[in-house]
Chains A and B, each alone.
Chain A
Amino acid sequence: MAVAIIGVLGLVARHPDDGAQLSTPTGGTAAAANMPSSNSGSVQSDNTTSSTTQTSSSGSLKDGTFTGQSEFTPYGTVKVAAVVSGGKITDIKFLQMPGPAGHSKEVTAFAEPYLKGETIQRQSSRIDFVSGATTTSEAYEQSLQAALDQAA
Chain B
Amino acid sequence: MRKVAQIMGMPISIDIPQCSDGAVFTAAFDRLREIDERFSTYKPESEVSRFSRGEIDEYDLSGELKTVIKACQEASDRTDGYFSAWAAGVFDPSGYVKGWAIAEAGKVIEEEGYQTYCIGAGGDILARSDGDKKWNIGIQDPKDKSKILNTLSISSGAVCTSGSYERGAHLINPKTSQPASEFLSVTVAGPDIIWADILATAVFVMGKKGVKFMDAQSDKGYRLSAVVT
Is the A/B pair a real complex? yes
Q: A20 near B: Cβ within 8 Å?
A: yes
Q: When A and B form their complex, what is the total count of cross-chain residue pairs whose Cβ atoms lie within 8 Å? A: 255
The residue in chain B whose Cβ has the minimal distance to the Cβ of A19 is: B85
- Interface stretch (choices A62-70, A79-87, A137-145): A137-145
Total number of B residues with any Cβ neighbor in A under 8 Å: 83
Listed residue (B15, B140, B172) with the most chain A CB atoms within 10 angstroms of its CB = B140
A residues lining the B interface (CB < 8 Å): 4, 6, 8, 10-26, 29-30, 32-33, 36-39, 41-47, 50-54, 113-114, 116-118, 120-122, 125-138, 141-142
CB distance from A109 to the nearest CB of B (A): 14
7 contacts between A and B (CB under 8 A): A15-B94, A19-B92, A21-B177, A127-B137, A128-B15, A128-B135, A141-B4
Q: Known contacts A18-B95, A45-B4: does B22 contact A125 (CB below 8 Å)?
A: no
CB distance from B215 to the nearest CB of A (A): 21
B9 CB contact (under 8 Å) in A38, A50, A53: A38
In the complex the two chains form, what is the Cα distance from A25 to B205 in whole Å?
19
Known: A18-B162, A133-B142. 12 other contacts (CB 8 A): A19-B76, A19-B94, A20-B171, A20-B180, A22-B88, A25-B168, A37-B9, A53-B15, A54-B17, A125-B148, A127-B137, A131-B124
B3 CB contact (under 8 Å) in A19, A32, A50: A50
In the complex the two chains form, what is the Cα distance from A48 to B122 in whole Å?
21
Helix, strand, loop or mixed for chain B's interface? mixed
- Residues 96-150 of B contacting A (Cβ, < 8 Å): 96, 98, 118, 120, 122-125, 127, 135-140, 142, 145-148
Q: Known contacts A51-B1, A132-B161: does B136 contact A22 (CB below 8 Å)?
A: no
Is there an interface contact between A131 and B137, defined as CB atoms closer than 8 Å?
yes
Is there an interface contact between A19 and B93, defined as CB atoms closer than 8 Å?
yes
Q: For B166, what are the chain A residues with a Cβ–Cβ distance below 8 Å?
A: 10-12, 134
Chain B 146-185 interface 0/1 with A at a Cβ cutoff of 8 Å (1 = within):
1110010000000111111111111111100101100001
